[in-house]
Chains A and B, each alone.
Chain A
Amino acid sequence: MTVEDVGEPTVHSCDAVVWIDEVDPQQAIAAGGSKMGRLAELMQSGVQVPQGFAVTVDAYSRHCRESGLDERIDAVIDRLGSSPDDAGVEEASAAIRQMFRETPVGAHLTGRLTEAYEELCLRCVDVNVPVAVRSSATGEDAADASFAGIFDTYLGVSGIERVLDAVRNCWGSLFTARALAYRLRKGISHHAMPIAVGVIELIHARASGVAFSVHPVTGKSDRIVIETSWGWGEAIVQGLVDPDHVEVGKSDGRVLKYDVAHKRIVSAFDFAVGAVTEIDMPAKLADRQVLDPEQVGAIASAVTAIEEHYGHPVDVEWVISRHRRPGDPVCIVQTRPVTVTAAPEEAAPAAYDPVALAQKYLFSGRPIPGR
């Protein structure tokens, strides 16, 4: 099964690919980027995650070095100077991303990825198993909310040729205009934050969404907030659909509110294109409640477990598979720390204190909320 590492005597063959279920969690983030690294951590802690592997940071770096991309990228960036205008950044971004698309993956890495993809097909018992190809950035800033959604993700990629294309596109997304401008502003070199790419079994989503272990706006830590729609989560993450909004009491798991939204757009698998794309929501599904109480409970317990594991508030992307039965865990495809924290005066009061409340609402010179 193993393809011998012939042309690269100085590099360990295992460095190009790491599997979520095999990598040492201590090194997972360094090798597979924050997104893939956290999935490995979650799996270790007993959370249900999809099968898959990461195309490592090393693989990316070696590709850039050996193909001559490094020099060509640096030349484009040097030409930009330290404070380019928006049009200049856009132009440089387009040029660099074009280079990534046009530069073929070397034979060695192609072999490693083909082998890994075939292994994933075997594990999933599928031919040309559809996968999610997700950018997984590194560096301190990668965990920052300012990078959320900035790098590419491709859902429903099937066959090794398309997987390789998607990997190269994810690499190129390290140089989107937004990312480029951000690094220029902060004076960070792109060499300081190389990118990894996750190749993950595509869960056939009945419903998906995001969940927060604290209220994402008020920071109230006594509740879990879930947003959900039918199909895959892209339409929610990209803000294309107004999702159902659910709040769950953290201490007793009670559903506090369930607001059913009119959901116009759905991320669905397009068999003709071979990818997950955004289409109009079928009318009969648009106003239907997505989650039943059992599913809400499963999501809430997964989020609670992840928050406990990390010891800080988290947000997660989750998927409910078509094959999930009641009682099964939900599948977690991504998690991040939540940066919002409750301002002291916004935190839920611990007890009824008429003096403090009068001070807050009557004597503060601010109108009473909701009026």
Chain B
Amino acid sequence: MANVVPVDEFATGEWYPGYEPEHFSMPYIVDPAGPFKPGDEQGFWFLDFHWSRGLTPLAATLWSGDGYCWGTQHAAEALPLPPGRGVSARFAGTHLYGSALPETDPREIGARANRIATNLPHFLQNYRSIWESGRDELEATWTYFRGVDFAGTPDLTDLLGQARRYHKRAMEIHFGVMYPMLANFLGFYGACADMGIDPNQIGKFLQGEDTKIMETDRGLSDLAQKARVAGLTDVFETHEPHELRAALGRQGGAASLWLTEFDDFLQVYGWRAEATCDVGVPSWIEDNTIPLGLVKTFLKKDDAHDFVAAARNAMAEREEAIEGARSGLTREEQAVFDAGLQSNQEANFPWWQDDHNYYIDLKVMLPLRWGCQELAARVDADHKDDMLYLFWPELVDVATGRTPYQGELKSLVAERRQYFDHWHAKRGEMPKVLGTIPEAVEDPILIEIFGLNPGSIKAVQDPDAAKQTVMKGVAAAKGTARGIARVLQSSDEMHRLEPGSILVCESTSPSWTPVFGKIAGAACDGGGMLSHAAIVGREYGVPTVTALGVATISIADGDEVEVDGTTGTVTILTKASTTTADTAADAPAGVAG
């Protein structure tokens, strides 16, 4: 019997103060995004770990409507996926829940299967040109926005519209490439497993390819090395990340030279926001705290992460895994394996899963953010981010001058900020799943990327989750590590990680990648074998367990834990004293105690 978690609590019709249903009215393909509504408990909804901060009104509506729903449903219809029509989104407060949309009509499934039989081979034969032309199209639009003088544009309305379209188009390209690549990869994965290859080895066959995200990490590590040589270690040690820019500036001399190099680095790699497609968070260029904090922690480690050695190891491990797998196959099976490996090396899904974030996820909301900040300045808003608390129709009205910002909208923004903060604090208490909860899901994307396997689905329904000390999850990256747990709500808190910390979080995304150079292990609520944490854990050789369901509830900040990424077990060895002052102060909201 499926367990039903009611959605009534979140389906009251109330949402952000001043919300009207037409604020969410936009074209949709199969199912539109929106706040939870009565009847939604018939679906199976999972709390999406990508947006653990919560989303502002503008971020929530545009990302869920133009990105999450439009992008996935567009791609699922175009390829098409025979039994799936993409993903839909609902909001409980500021928090996004996702649900896969099934196709159940057997005749439709048959017709869709015939279409993918033509379209998937065509995609794989032309993968490089399809992905690169999509990427180049987006880079061209990006270059256009970089050349736009936002401050010198009298009417921002068109720019805001263009920026919104850029994001929406990016999501069409994103999922249009992701679905067929994933289909090819999981087909290969299944064939390998059926041929008796250890599934833990399969992930290794495609590792060791350099990505833009790893390139960024190496750049930061080099900057840390240069800071050390320039004698700046003291400045980094004695200042918090948010004070570093000013402190280095005051120091002058070598510190100023270093800052110049740092800024040059940011001009290439700093156009990345701290979250996937979230207009509500700044880029590294806008807020240097994150990259400076990363340099600070790189300096704390005496032995710098050896990127060259790690890459060499990843490649050697890959070759060894491929050779080991091939040697156990018959000649007939080797022919299938070799062809499948070649196809997946050409269209390398795990590589793309990391690399594309540089071109798409971390960047495509920035032009809209710039437009909103320019508008905030013009209407004399209290805070440069105030426009992010408007809904799109309100934003357009302010941009065209139809509605003044000062007055009613301004006070709504103040109330919406409170609403956002209220739900931000409640993140740790949000149900991980809502609606009709199956014992197992069949959608491979939900299993392999989101980590929704029978074990984690069971774990998130355990009322005694907070008391457990031994947890089982997906053995995502091998090895064992012990250390002090740091339970983080979002990558905003990455500065709290020390070298040797055990990272505990809902899940990681590309903004987290640099911390894998210093942490000893990772334990995540979500994420399957193909999740970001699993892929990056393997690349960096960091023991990682994913799909624990409730690690952020069971583990408290400061606990001593052991992560066994070979068996997929996480054990709490010593509970932190809940009265320790610094732990209580550091613990993210909703998790302390």
Q: Are A357 and B332 in contact (CB under 8 A)?
A: no
Could you tell me the distance in whole angstroms from the C-beta of A59 to the nearest C-beta in chain B? 46
Q: A354-B124, A358-B184, A362-B183 are in contact. Are A257 and B328 (CB under 8 A)?
A: yes
A239 at the interface (CB under 8 A from B): no
Report the bound CA distance from A371 to B455 in whole Å.
Answer: 11
Interface string of A52-76 (1 = CB under 8 A from B): 0000000000000000000000000
B188 at the interface (CB under 8 A from A): yes
Which residues of chain A come closer than 8 Å to B187, judged between CB atoms?
A: 354, 356-358, 360-362
Q: Are A351 and B189 in contact (CB under 8 A)?
A: no
Q: Are A368 and B124 in contact (CB under 8 A)?
A: no
Q: A352-B339, A361-B444 are in contact. Are A249 and B186 (CB under 8 A)?
A: no
Q: Are B330 and A352 in contact (CB under 8 A)?
A: no
Interface string of B178-191 (1 = CB under 8 A from A): 00000110111111
Q: Are A256 and B184 in contact (CB under 8 A)?
A: no
Residue in B190, B196, B329, B330 whose beta carbon sits within 8 Å of that of A357 in the complex: B190
Q: Are A368 and B335 in contact (CB under 8 A)?
A: no
Report the bound CA distance from A357 to B189 in whole Å.
Answer: 9
Q: Are A352 and B189 in contact (CB under 8 A)?
A: no
B194 at the interface (CB under 8 A from A): yes
Residue in B83, B331, B340, B343 whose beta carbon sits within 8 Å of that of A252 in the complex: B331
Q: Are A349 and B447 in contact (CB under 8 A)?
A: no
Q: A352-B339, A357-B187, A365-B83 are in contact. Are A251 and B332 (CB under 8 A)?
A: yes
Q: A252-B331, A361-B187 are in contact. Are A367 and B442 (CB under 8 A)?
A: yes
Report the bound CA distance from A356 to B448 in whole Å.
Answer: 20
A308 at the interface (CB under 8 A from B): no
Which residues of chain B come closer than 8 Å to A38, judged between CB atoms?
A: none
Q: A360-B190, A361-B190, A371-B453 are in contact. Are A354 and B331 (CB under 8 A)?
A: no
A145 at the interface (CB under 8 A from B): no
Interface residue stretch chosen among B114-122, B250-258, B581-589: B114-122
Q: A251-B331, A362-B444, A371-B193 are in contact. Are A354 and B81 (CB under 8 A)?
A: no
Per the 8 Å Cβ criterion, residues 16-62 of B in contact with A are none
Residue in A223, A251, A348, A368 whose beta carbon sits within 8 Å of that of B444 in the complex: A368
Q: Are A362 and B330 in contact (CB under 8 A)?
A: no
B421 at the interface (CB under 8 A from A): no
Q: A361-B187, A363-B113, A369-B193 are in contact. Are A256 and B327 (CB under 8 A)?
A: yes
Q: Are A223 and B330 in contact (CB under 8 A)?
A: yes
Interface string of B405-420 (1 = CB under 8 A from A): 0000000000000000
A1 at the interface (CB under 8 A from B): no
B231 at the interface (CB under 8 A from A): no
B336 at the interface (CB under 8 A from A): yes
Per the 8 Å Cβ criterion, residues 120-150 of B in contact with A are 120-121, 124
Could you tell me the distance in whole angstroms from the C-beta of A64 to the nearest C-beta in chain B? 50
Which residues of chain B come closer than 8 Å to A187, judged between CB atoms?
A: none
Report the bound CA distance from A182 to B332 in whole Å.
Answer: 41
Interface string of B289-332 (1 = CB under 8 A from A): 00000000000000000000000000000000000000111111
B111 at the interface (CB under 8 A from A): no
Of A223, A252, A351, A370, most B-chain CB atoms within 10 Å: A370
Q: Are A351 and B339 in contact (CB under 8 A)?
A: yes
Q: Are A361 and B336 in contact (CB under 8 A)?
A: no
Could you tell me the distance in whole angstroms from the C-beta of B329 to the nearest C-beta in chain A? 7
Q: Are B193 and A359 in contact (CB under 8 A)?
A: no
| Interface residues of chain A: helix, strand, loop or mixed (majority) | loop
Could you tell me the distance in whole angstroms from the C-beta of B105 to the nearest C-beta in chain A? 14
Q: Across the interface, name the chain B residue whose C-beta is closest to A220.
A: B330
Which residues of chain B come closer than 8 Å to A355, judged between CB atoms?
A: 116-117, 120-121
Which residues of chain B come closer than 8 Å to A257, judged between CB atoms?
A: 196, 328
A222 at the interface (CB under 8 A from B): yes
Of B186, B330, B333, B447, most A-chain CB atoms within 10 Å: B330
Report the bound CA distance from A349 to B198 in whole Å.
Answer: 19
Which residues of chain B come closer than 8 Å to A223, judged between CB atoms?
A: 330
Could you tell me the distance in whole angstroms from the C-beta of B323 to the nearest C-beta in chain A? 14
Interface string of A244-264 (1 = CB under 8 A from B): 000101111010110000000
B431 at the interface (CB under 8 A from A): no
Which residues of chain A come closer than 8 Å to B340, judged between CB atoms?
A: 352, 354, 357
Per the 8 Å Cβ criterion, residues 144-201 of B in contact with A are 183-184, 186-191, 193-196, 198-199
Which residues of chain A come closer than 8 Å to B188, judged between CB atoms?
A: 352, 354, 357
Which residues of chain A come closer than 8 Å to B329, judged between CB atoms?
A: 249, 256
Interface string of B525-543 (1 = CB under 8 A from A): 0000100000000000000
Q: Are B444 and A352 in contact (CB under 8 A)?
A: no
* Interface bin, chain B: 35 or more
Q: Are B189 and A361 in contact (CB under 8 A)?
A: yes
Report the bound CA distance from A247 to B120 in whole Å.
Answer: 35
B430 at the interface (CB under 8 A from A): no
Q: A358-B183, A358-B186, A370-B193 are in contact. Are A351 and B444 (CB under 8 A)?
A: no
Could you tell me the distance in whole angstroms from the C-beta of B515 to the nearest C-beta in chain A? 28
Could you tell me the distance in whole angstroms from the C-beta of A328 to the nearest C-beta in chain B? 27
Which residues of chain A come closer than 8 Å to B195, judged between CB atoms?
A: 348
Of A349, A351, A368, most B-chain CB atoms within 10 Å: A368
Could you tell me the distance in whole angstroms from the C-beta of A223 to the nearest C-beta in chain B? 5
Q: Are B120 and A354 in contact (CB under 8 A)?
A: yes
Report the bound CA distance from A251 to B336 in whole Å.
Answer: 15
Residue in A348, A358, A368 whose beta carbon sits within 8 Å of that of B120 in the complex: A358
Which residues of chain B come closer than 8 Å to A370, judged between CB atoms?
A: 193-194, 198-199
Which residues of chain B come closer than 8 Å to A369, judged between CB atoms?
A: 190, 193-194
Residue in A249, A250, A371 whose beta carbon sits within 8 Å of that of B447 in the complex: A371
A323 at the interface (CB under 8 A from B): no
Q: A349-B191, A349-B336 are in contact. Are A358 and B116 (CB under 8 A)?
A: yes
A79 at the interface (CB under 8 A from B): no
Could you tell me the distance in whole angstroms from the C-beta of A35 to the nearest C-beta in chain B? 31
B440 at the interface (CB under 8 A from A): yes
Which residues of chain B come closer than 8 Å to A256, judged between CB atoms?
A: 327-330
A366 at the interface (CB under 8 A from B): yes
Which residues of chain A come closer than 8 Å to B121, judged between CB atoms?
A: 354-355
Q: Are A366 and B442 in contact (CB under 8 A)?
A: yes
Q: Are A367 and B343 in contact (CB under 8 A)?
A: no
Report the bound CA distance from A359 to B184 in whole Å.
Answer: 10
Which residues of chain B come closer than 8 Å to A359, judged between CB atoms?
A: 82, 113
Per the 8 Å Cβ criterion, residues 327-355 of B in contact with A are 327-333, 335-337, 339-340, 343
Could you tell me the distance in whole angstroms from the C-beta of A209 to the nearest C-beta in chain B? 20
Q: Are A371 and B199 in contact (CB under 8 A)?
A: yes
Q: Are A222 and B83 in contact (CB under 8 A)?
A: no
Residue in A222, A349, A363, A368 whose beta carbon sits within 8 Å of that of B193 in the complex: A368
28 A-B residue pairs with Cβ-Cβ distance under 8 Å, sorted by A, are: A250-B330, A251-B331, A256-B327, A256-B330, A348-B332, A348-B336, A351-B336, A352-B337, A354-B184, A354-B343, A357-B190, A358-B116, A358-B120, A358-B183, A359-B82, A360-B190, A361-B186, A361-B187, A361-B189, A361-B190, A361-B444, A362-B186, A363-B82, A365-B83, A367-B440, A368-B447, A371-B193, A371-B453
Q: Which residues in A have some Cβ–Cβ distance to B below 8 Å?
A: 222-223, 247, 249-252, 254, 256-257, 348-352, 354-363, 365-371
Q: A256-B330, A370-B199 are in contact. List 19 more A-B contacts (CB 8 A).
A: A222-B330, A257-B196, A348-B195, A348-B330, A351-B336, A352-B337, A352-B339, A352-B343, A354-B188, A354-B340, A355-B116, A357-B187, A358-B120, A358-B186, A361-B186, A362-B183, A362-B186, A369-B190, A369-B194
